[in-house]
Amino acid sequence: MATSKNKSVNRMSPREKMINLMYIVLTAMLALNVSSDVLNGFSQVEDGLTRSNRTITARNQSLYAQLQAFNEKNPEKGKVWLDKATQVVGETDKLFNYIDSLKLEMVRLADGPDGDVNNIRNRDNLDASSEVMLTATGGKGKLLRTRIDQYRQFVTSFLEDSEKRKNLETALSTKPPKLANHDISKHTWEETMFENMPCIAAVTLLTKLQNDVRYAEGEVLNQMLTNVDLGDLRVNLVNAFVVPESRIVMRGTKYKAQIVLAAIDTTQRPTVYVNGGRLANANGIYEVGTGKAGKYDYSGWIEVLGRDGTPTRREFKSSYTVIDPLATISATMMNVLYAGINNPISIAVPGVPQGSISATMTNGTLTKSGEGWIARPAKVGAECVISVTAEMDGQRTNVGSTTFRVRKLPDPMPFISYKDANGNPNRYKGGKPGITKALLLAAGGLDAAIDDEILNIDYKVLSFECSFVDAMGDYHPEASNSSQFTERQKDRIKRLQHGKQFFITNVKATGPDGITRTIAPIQVIIN
């Protein structure tokens, strides 16, 4: 709270030290914004996706091995497809490993150089994903989006089936989300994915993206196996596959998956049974509601008639995970709300545009302001609860709430405003090295404000006293009933010699909360 001289920083009053300590504690309390239950849920989803990635990777390796085996038996026919498959595997591994490096960078930023993606300690860290993916120094989200776009164009070029091509384009889409009025969101894909996202959530989203990349690789490899026309060799390699539109769904939305038999005869449709019942549609679309969060397993079989009319049956099993919608609610300034002022609030629901989000608040008012919100609490000492709903699949869903404590504004600090030799505005807050009489008299009076780099609020000085000490050591107070020096105060100041001092005390000021406060005095040294 001092001037730019280093030695004055070490002379903070006990009250100033207490205020600084309070802000350190409040900053630490930011970690309480995201509940541990939600963080644990993301950890469980991350574990499930990681296992799924291993399974899909193993399946893809098997498909590639089949292409290699065919090439050894028939290089004239198989080499062209093996070469293309090698290209696909190489590009997929590059993108997969790049996403791995982004996850590691986020975790090490959150946990330190020894951070482990498989054991994230600071799972609720809200800065790591933004610093790596969105900031000017990191900004790797835009690069990731570009690489995904290039990969999507690359892999879809190998698919002849327009439906499969469309599915891959949807799975690897990086288009900004559409708002409720069908306009395109102003947020980029990377901002929607990683802005204000807890570290564990960002890592989970990246793992889901790796899952989609492996899924795309498998679709292309499977297409290439079909193209080589293995004939009778394929009889022993027929497998059932589950192709979901998404592997993570929010409660209240629908889980949808297509269940197919690899390399089937396109002139006939297989019959699909799930959990003992036959699917009603001929396209193998399995659709089920999601009313409760958790992991759900399902299984069944596919029947297809052979050339001799004998049915061939292949069993399958899969699972999907339903997660509760997550709303991120954070105070822009700090983890408390202050009564009497506008508190900027950021509210976001991953995957939901701002136009589809609504919010209410107890103990005060909450209004929309541009891309953010303004909270204005009413009563000090009571709690404010901000509740958020979002429109998903045409229905409004409660996606979470957060409780904030309400405090009154801290006391401001008085200061004398002046301009330096270069005409730049400055503030003299008392003590050494002092201020010249010319600058002091030109300033005309006293100001007050909270300017601690977190809050920046001006106060109006109502009155103050200047206490002067004469040669006999007696104090002579001179009062001002405004923020300006009186003529008597100015006359006293003019008579002070270099090195002399006086005190400005009994400073009364009022702020936007309407409370009149008596704030700290300052020592004025004539330089």
Residue-wise pLDDT tens digits, 489-527 = 999 999 998 889 999 999 999 998 888 999 999 999 998
Task: Select from 206, 248, 211, 214 the least CA-distant residue to 105.
Answer: 206
Q: What is the pLDDT of residue 190?
A: 87
Q: In what order do the strands lie in the sheet with 364-369?
A: 328-331, 343-348, 372-377, 364-369
Residues 84 and 135 in one domain: yes
Bigger pLDDT: 232 or 124? Answer: 124
Per-chain mean pLDDT for the chain: 81
**Residue 352: predicted pLDDT:** 74
| pLDDT tens digits, 191-237 | 888 888 888 888 888 988 999 999 999 999 988 888 775 433 334 45
Three-state DSSP class for 435? strand
428 and 483 assigned to the same domain: yes
pLDDT of residue 161: 82
Within this chain, do residues 419 and 506 fall inside the same structural domain, yes or no? yes
Same domain, 283 and 330: no
366 beta partners: 375
Range of the domain at 279: 238-324
φ, ψ at 288 (rounded to 5°): -145, 145
Structurally, the chain folds into a number of domains equal to 4
Mean per-residue pLDDT for 6-23? 48
- pLDDT at residue 299 tops 90: yes
> Contact, 216 vs 164, CB < 8 A?
no
Asked if residue 15 belongs to a domain, the reply is: no
Q: What is the pLDDT of residue 284?
A: 79
pLDDT at 485 over 90: yes
In this structure, is the dihedral angle defined by the CA atoms of residues 11, 15, 20 and 24, taken in order, positive or negative?
positive
Which of 270, 305, 324 terminates a domain? The answer is 324
Residue 151 pLDDT: 94
Domain boundary among 373, 407, 441: 407
Residue-wise pLDDT for 320-378, tens only, equals 777 666 666 665 556 789 988 889 998 888 767 788 889 999 999 999 988 889 999 98
Which of 411, 457, 409, 424 is CA-nearest to residue 4? 424
Is 14 part of a structural domain of the chain? no
Do the domain assignments include residue 3? no
Answer yes or no: do 224 and 268 share one domain: no
With beta carbons less than 8 A apart as the criterion, state whether 103 and 117 touch.
yes
The residue ranking higher by pLDDT, 184 or 385, is 385
- Is residue 47 domain-shared with residue 138, that is, in the same domain? yes
Q: What share of the chain has pLDDT > 70, as a percent?
A: 80
Cα 385 to Cα 430: distance, rounded to the nearest angstrom: 41
Identify whether 8 is part of a domain: no
Count of alpha carbons within 13 angstroms of residue 265, beta-carbon side: 12
> Domain check: are 147 and 198 in the same one?
yes
Cα of first residue to Cα of last residue in the chain, in angstroms, is: 20
CATH code assigned at 368? 2.60.40.1080
12 lies in a domain?
no
Alpha helices by DSSP H, listed for 74-178, are 75-111, 128-133, 140-156, 162-171
pLDDT of the residue at 37 = 63
The answer to whether residues 127 and 269 belong to one domain is no
Q: In this model, does residue 381 exceed pLDDT 50?
A: yes
Split at pLDDT 50, 70, 90, the class of 463 is very high
Same domain for 125 and 254, yes or no, is no
Going by C-beta distance under 8 Å and a sequence separation of 6 or more, which residues neighbour residue 367?
Answer: 373, 374, 376
| Percentage of residues in the chain having pLDDT higher than 90 | 32
**Residues 67, 83: Cα–Cα separation, whole Å:** 10
Q: List Cβ neighbours of 14 (8 Å cut-off, separation of 6 or more).
A: none
Q: How far is Cα 411 from Cα 72, in angstroms, rounded to an integer? A: 81
Residue 327 in tokens: 């709303």
Domain boundary among 278, 296, 324: 324
For position 320, which CATH number holds?
2.60.40.10
- Residue with more model confidence, 256 or 166: 166
Give the model's pLDDT for residue 391.
Answer: 83
Whether 277 and 224 share a structural domain: no
100 with 216, same domain: the answer is: yes
Place 49 in a pLDDT band, splitting at 50, 70 and 90: confident
User: Which of 14-18, 121-125, 195-199, 286-290 shows the lowest per-residue confidence on average (mean pLDDT)?
Assistant: 14-18
The reply to whether 5 falls in a domain is: no
* Residue at 271 is within a domain: yes
pLDDT value for 267: 53
Question: Do the domain assignments include residue 19?
Answer: no
Q: What are phi and psi of 21, to 5 degrees?
A: -65, -35
CA–CA separation, 89 and 101 (whole Å)? 18
Please tell me whether residues 461 and 349 are part of one structural domain: no
pLDDT at 30: 40
